[in-house]
């Protein structure tokens, strides 16, 4: 890249809903580009659509970005704080004769567009107010850009190459609605120019707006930024990712027990690559990120791969950090008393479970039997394994275990070996009943690990309770 100007990029979400997965990827690419080039990452809230924008959404966006660690350097700016600036710019164009009042109502325009489409013509504004000299009484006009009608406008896109638009196909864009609100396109151009944005990295859905925006830069006399349009994220049905495809809200992924680094890693690899590498720390992404390797085709969101990445980060994550997250967020929500579990016990639980749980929410489920004082075995598991046939061996084992001076992992196998030898059992025939007695389930970490985790007292209590339940 031969840019001599400092790199300044922005993420500019509309606060009309939660922070969407697709939005996060756009934010991430901007963030990575900024950090890679030692530039500035700006957050701007595009809230001019006051009927749909909410403060709740803004909070959600900020919280989501913070959770992911996508820290911004300037902002958040809000477009509703900048209305006067847009007004000034519109007035400037009006004064220069590069914009004009249009008295057509939205209804009329809709009707004409429908008619054009029915007649298979380009549904383009017909320019009937373009040279109007006098106002129409009783009507509040909108303001339109007087765009060039001949020639071409070329978007030099960093991802897609040159995209050529015939000016004759582009109509005169509305800058100010008749209700007094500036339009998206106007605000974006004014803000990007005023904020000295060097690279606009945004969704593919804005590619068609870009030539019109370029015309506005021209009209204002601003140098345009460089553009990079990233393709959309699609659902499994290849339609644009939306709520009906399941979770699309970033914060919901946090609730489901995903780690920020997993989500970031997944989203980075969706559309961007660096050879065959799959696992990237945020630091590595910053180091290696380049728009050159951003794919131009749309990508389908694949929850399985995200889940795999999450399990990878759980397996390899720092156990102390995971332990505190697990206890204070996911466990505390289920069982408030969990807050008082000592750190070192939490760390042991994490170590036992981190190769088995793909999310922290799942880990919370799996850890409940080590958190609660007493458990009730699943009926099916108890029926299958806590049988009269195994009772003698189980009773014998309990006796042996209770006699153990030490109750740590190295001390336990000898007791098991003695019992299976004495009762002519296979290890599985003894371990499974013990597992059910201790955890209530047929699935758990290694049996010695479980015993050590529960400690002597709770282990023996659960074994005795199981023994009693068998009867006879």
Q: Please list the active-site residues.
A: 243
73 vs 204, beta carbon nearer RNA: 204
Question: Would you say how long the chain is, in residues?
Answer: 472
Contact between 174 and RNA (CB under 7 A)? yes
> In the set 82, 113, 329, 464, which binds RNA (CB under 7 A)?
113
| Contact positions with RNA (CB under 7 A) in 307-326 | 307-308, 311-312, 315
| Contact positions with RNA (CB under 7 A) in 4-23 | none
| Contact positions with RNA (CB under 7 A) in 119-158 | 120-123, 142
State in angstroms the smallest separation of the CB of 413 from RNA: 8
Look-up: residue for tokens 């990079």?
228
Phi, psi of 100 (to 5 degrees): -150, 165
45 vs 306, beta carbon nearer RNA: 306
> In the set 333, 343, 355, 417, which binds RNA (CB under 7 A)?
355
State in angstroms the smallest separation of the CB of 336 from RNA: 28
418 vs 428, beta carbon nearer RNA: 428
> In the set 448, 458, 461, 464, which binds RNA (CB under 7 A)?
448
Find, among 289, 450, 467, 465, the residue nearest to 394 by Cα.
Answer: 467
Give yes or no for a cis peptide into 178 (omega within 30° of 0).
no
7 vs 233, beta carbon nearer RNA: 233
State in angstroms the smallest separation of the CB of 227 from RNA: 12
> In the set 83, 129, 232, 395, which binds RNA (CB under 7 A)?
232
> In the set 444, 454, 459, 467, which binds RNA (CB under 7 A)?
444
Q: What is the CA radius of gyration of the chain?
A: 31
| Residues 6 or more apart whose Cβ sits within 8 Å of residue 327 | 338, 339, 341, 346
**Count of residues that interact with RNA, criterion CB under 7 A:** 73
Stretch that binds RNA, among 130-138, 237-245, 333-341, 396-404 (CB under 7 A): 237-245
| Contact positions with RNA (CB under 7 A) in 91-110 | 102, 104-106, 109
State in angstroms the smallest separation of the CB of 207 from RNA: 5
40 vs 357, beta carbon nearer RNA: 357
Q: What angle, 0 to 180 degrees and rounded to 10, lies between the N-to-C axes of helices 413-423 and 427-439?
A: 120
Decide if 47 contacts 13 (C-beta within 8 A). no
Both tokens of 446, joined, read: 């290694």
> In the set 75, 148, 446, 455, which binds RNA (CB under 7 A)?
446
State in angstroms the smallest separation of the CB of 456 from RNA: 18
> In the set 205, 333, 343, 344, which binds RNA (CB under 7 A)?
205
Stretch that binds RNA, among 9-17, 164-172, 219-227, 283-291 (CB under 7 A): 164-172
> In the set 61, 93, 263, 447, which binds RNA (CB under 7 A)?
447
Contact between 66 and RNA (CB under 7 A)? no
250 vs 265, beta carbon nearer RNA: 265
CA 271 to CA 103: how far, in whole Å? Answer: 44
Contact between 165 and RNA (CB under 7 A)? yes
> In the set 63, 73, 204, 335, which binds RNA (CB under 7 A)?
204
69 vs 303, beta carbon nearer RNA: 303
Per-residue binder mask for RNA (CB under 7 A), 259-298, x = binder: ----------xxx-x-xx-x--------------x-xxxx
Find, among 393, 437, 436, the residue nearest to 416 by Cα.
Answer: 393
Q: Which helix (H) or strand (E) holds 228?
A: strand 226-230
CA 297 to CA 138: how far, in whole Å? Answer: 49
Find, among 249, 253, 272, the residue nearest to 261 by Cα.
Answer: 253
Contact between 407 and RNA (CB under 7 A)? no
């Amino acid at each position: 890249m031969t840019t001599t100007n400092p790199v300044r990029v922005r993420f500019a979400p509309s606060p009309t809903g939660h922070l969407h997965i697709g939005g996060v990827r756009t934010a991430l690419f901007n963030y990575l580009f900024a950090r890679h080039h030692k530039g500035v990452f700006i957050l701007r809230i595009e809230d001019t659509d006051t009927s749909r924008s909410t403060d709740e959404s803004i909070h959600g966006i900020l919280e989501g970005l913070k959770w992911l660690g996508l820290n911004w350097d300037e902002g958040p700016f809000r477009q509703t704080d900048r209305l006067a600036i847009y007004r000034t710019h519109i007035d400037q164009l009006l004064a220069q004769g590069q914009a004009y009042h249009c008295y057509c109502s939205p209804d009329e325009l809709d009707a004409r567009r429908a008619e054009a489409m029915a007649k298979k013509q380009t549904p383009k504004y017909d320019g009937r107010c373009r040279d109007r000299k006098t106002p129409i009484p009783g009507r509040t006009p909108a303001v339109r850009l007087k765009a060039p009608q001949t020639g071409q406008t070329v978007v030099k896109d960093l991802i897609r190459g040159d995209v050529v638009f015939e000016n004759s196909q582009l109509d005169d864009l509305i800058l100010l609605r008749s209700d007094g609100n500036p339009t998206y396109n106007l605000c974006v151009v004014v803000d990007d120019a005023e904020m000295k944005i060097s690279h606009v990295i945004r969704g593919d859905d804005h590619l068609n707006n870009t030539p019109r925006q370029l015309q506005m830069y021209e009209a204002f006399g601003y140098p345009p930024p460089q553009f990079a349009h990233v393709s959309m994220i699609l659902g499994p049905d290849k339609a644009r990712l939306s709520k009906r495809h399941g979770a699309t809200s970033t914060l919901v992924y946090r609730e489901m027990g995903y780690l920020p680094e997993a989500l970031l890693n997944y989203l980075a690899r969706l559309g961007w690559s660096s050879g065959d590498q799959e696992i990237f720390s945020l630091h590595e992404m910053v180091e290696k990120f380049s728009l050159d390797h951003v794919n131009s085709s749309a990508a389908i969101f694949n929850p399985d791969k995200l889940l795999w990445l999450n399990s990878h980060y759980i397996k390899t994550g720092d156990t102390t950090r995971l332990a505190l997250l697990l206890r204070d967020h996911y466990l505390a929500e289920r069982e408030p008393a969990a807050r008082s579990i000592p750190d070192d016990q939490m760390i042991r639980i994490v170590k036992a479970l981190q190769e088995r749980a793909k999310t922290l929410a799942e880990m919370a489920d799996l850890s409940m039997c080590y958190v609660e004082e007493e458990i009730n075995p699943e009926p099916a598991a108890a029926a299958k394994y806590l049988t009269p046939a195994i009772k003698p061996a189980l009773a014998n084992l309990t006796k042996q275990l209770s006699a153990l001076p030490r109750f740590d992992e190295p001390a336990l196998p000898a007791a098991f070996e003695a019992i299976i030898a004495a009762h002519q059992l296979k290890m599985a025939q003894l371990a499974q009943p013990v597992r059910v007695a201790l955890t209530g389930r047929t699935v758990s970490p290694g049996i010695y690990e479980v015993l050590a985790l529960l400690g002597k007292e709770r282990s023996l209590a659960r074994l005795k309770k199981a023994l009693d339940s068998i009867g006879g």
